[in-house]
Structure 1
Amino acid sequence: MKVCLVGSSGGHLTHLYMLKPFWKDKDHFWVTFDKKDARSLLEGEKMYPCYYPTNRSLKALIKNTKIAWDVLHKEKPDLIISCGAAVAVPFFYLGKMMRAKLVYIEVFDRIDKPTMTGKMIYPIVDKFVVQWEEQKKVYPKAVNLGSIF
């Protein structure tokens, strides 16, 4: 199984990294911002840089869609995992077209409102994971697996 871990640097990347017991023994690669924190955390890992800043940016969406197309066609992952943010959107939609399984983990600090990314990808994911039972009011089909922390 090949796993793509995609997310913004900072807290989103930290959340994904905390899933190490799951991904460490699998063929995997990362997609994140080419920033100091990401380079430090992912030293020695296969990492593809994506375009940032992404906040509600059509330009970033277009550029990251091209990156997603190239990376996904090269790597052909079986599973794509993300906890956000916007960079996940093109990877999930193109990944769905390529028949990859999609798992999204909603962020820990959003308890009673959806994130923009969560809203956009909720309809297409294979598994939507929340970290609080209250989040299931926002995402009824979600699975609560508790906190990653």
Structure 2
Amino acid sequence: MDKICLVSSTGGHLAQLKQIIPILSNYNYFVVTEFNKMSDNNNKEEKYYLKQQERKNILFLYCALYNIIISIYIILRERPSIIISTGAGAVIPICLFGKLMGSKLVFIESFAKISTPTLTGKILYRFSDRFYVQWEQLIKYYPNSVYRGTIY
């Protein structure tokens, strides 16, 4: 059976990712997100935590390096066949390393981005096996994307 990795930063990205968990009840999946009060709930799914990674933070490089190392560890340990992500920046290492190791990559562009693309979306678009936009006007930035409406 396929193992699915659900990966996102916290906040709205994690809230979007949680919207698809109910359709995965018959699959073996785990969640990778940043650690904070929102992500630290007692749900039944297996979780791994990344460090919160904000580009304007003075510790950005340290957090990014930590996230690269933990992402490699997670991919080697879990060997997911599919990675589904809603962004943001902290997810890039796990998505790229997973892709390098043979995982299929599905990216869902953020619900909050109505008319312009995200930096994470622009990076991962090139590597995604399936790329979804939640607003039809984003197709002009991602011509091979799929629009199926929003996940809310």
TM-score range, shorter-chain basis? over 0.9
Deviation string for 1:20-49 (max 9, x for gaps)? 233222101111112111112x52220001
The 5 A counterparts of 1:60-139 are: 60-139=63-142
Q: Calculate the aligned-residue CA RMSD, in Å.
A: 1.3
> For 1:71, what is the secondary structure of its paired residue?
helix
Which ranges in structure 1 are unaligned for 5 or more consecutive residues?
none
Deviation string for 1:105-126 (max 9, x for gaps)? 0011212211010011111110
Question: 1:48 is matched with which residue?
Answer: 48
Which ranges in structure 2 are unaligned for 5 or more consecutive residues?
none
Q: What percentage of aligned pairs have identical amino acids?
A: 38
Q: Return the alpha-carbon distance in structure 2 between the equivalents of residues 46 and 2 of structure 1.
A: 12
Query: Normalization by structure 1: what TM-score?
Result: 0.93
Count of equivalent residues: 148
**Residue pair 2:86, 2:107 contacting (<8 A) in 1 also:** yes
Deviation, structure 1 residue 83: 0.5
Q: Return the alpha-carbon distance in structure 1 between the equivalents of residues 55 and 43 of structure 2.
A: 26
